[in-house]
Amino acid sequence: MQTNPTPPYNSLVAVGDSFTEGMSDLLPDGSYRGWADLLAGRMAAAAPGFRYANLAVRGKLIGQIVDEQVEVAAAMGADVITLVGGLNDTLRPKCDMGRVRGLLTEAVERLAPACKQLVLMRSPGRRGPVLERFRPRMEELFAVVDELAERHGALVVDLYGAPSLADPRLWDVDRLHLTPEGHRRVAEAVWQTLGYDPEDTEWRTPLPATLPPGWGARRVADVRFARQHLLPWIGRRLTGRSSGDGLPPKRPDLLPYQDPTA
């Protein structure tokens, strides 16, 4: 069976927030890997001398991404740029969606001409009462992503519509970030969207069904989640602080890819 030719991509720059930084795909040294690192590893295996930069920093709003990452990424001249941003804005108590639209448009207009292929995403969204409140904003954001992609020739990876990524078992205990298996599936989704031959044709398929935890176990997990994650997250939202304040990007320069686990 004849396979498709390998896409001619020799470099990748990832732009965004915690989702692209790789939380909660934790490595033994305390750093994060995530879907973008996994994708870069695959692309590097197909292209000797492949270069990779990851400018994403947890907690960043779309305005910060535009101010701190977009121009840097555009100047690198990479073949592929991924941009995922704006979701943190939609989760704030007050969110000006008109401003989010304008900033995302600014980012796409700057990045699309600066690379061979810009990749945008409809971010995954797990089920749960906390996110239900913000779902209309999220879906408005994804409509903007679709419009911009069509206008500027960007690819869109639809993670929001993937049944597997709505499964709570693919989300970490903080209920905001994917598990390592979740990140692996995202890497596969982007890999296929870029035109590479699939390694996992079933990445959208949900995990096999298991018995749900009992009422007591769920209540204990809910209390732990609220104390350790939800209340600190709400506190940061109300005070305008971010988990990424003062943190630098983990891969700020477009350099030959190195496996973070090696």
How do the pLDDT tens digits run along the chain, 262 residues long? 445 667 889 999 999 999 999 987 888 888 899 999 999 999 999 999 999 999 999 999 999 999 999 999 999 999 999 999 999 999 888 899 999 999 999 999 999 999 999 999 999 876 655 567 888 999 999 999 999 999 999 999 999 989 999 888 888 867 688 999 999 999 999 999 999 999 999 999 987 766 565 555 556 454 454 555 455 555 655 556 556 567 899 999 999 998 887 7
pLDDT at 2: 44
79 inside domain: yes
The parent domain of residue 252 ranges over 11-208+215-256
Q: How many domains does the chain have?
A: 1
Angstrom distance (rounded) from CA 46 to CA 42: 7
pLDDT at 29: 87
pLDDT at 186: 97
262 inside domain: no
Q: What is the CATH number of the domain that holds 27?
A: 3.40.50.1110
Angstrom distance (rounded) from CA 146 to CA 73: 21
pLDDT at 229: 46
Question: Which amino acid is it at 77?
Answer: G
4 inside domain: no
All residues at 6 or more sequence positions from 63 whose CB lies less than 8 Å from its CB, including other chains: 99, 103
First to last CA, the chain: 34
27 inside domain: yes
261 inside domain: no
Strand (E) or helix (H) holding 246: none
Q: If DSSP codes are grouped into helix, strand and coil, which group holds residue 171?
A: strand
Q: What is the DSSP string of 82-126?
A: EEE-SHHHHTSSS--HHHHHHHHHHHHHHHGGGSSEEEEEE----
203 inside domain: yes
Tokens standing for residue 51: 């270069």
Taking alpha carbons only, the member of 120, 79, 86 closest to residue 100 is 86
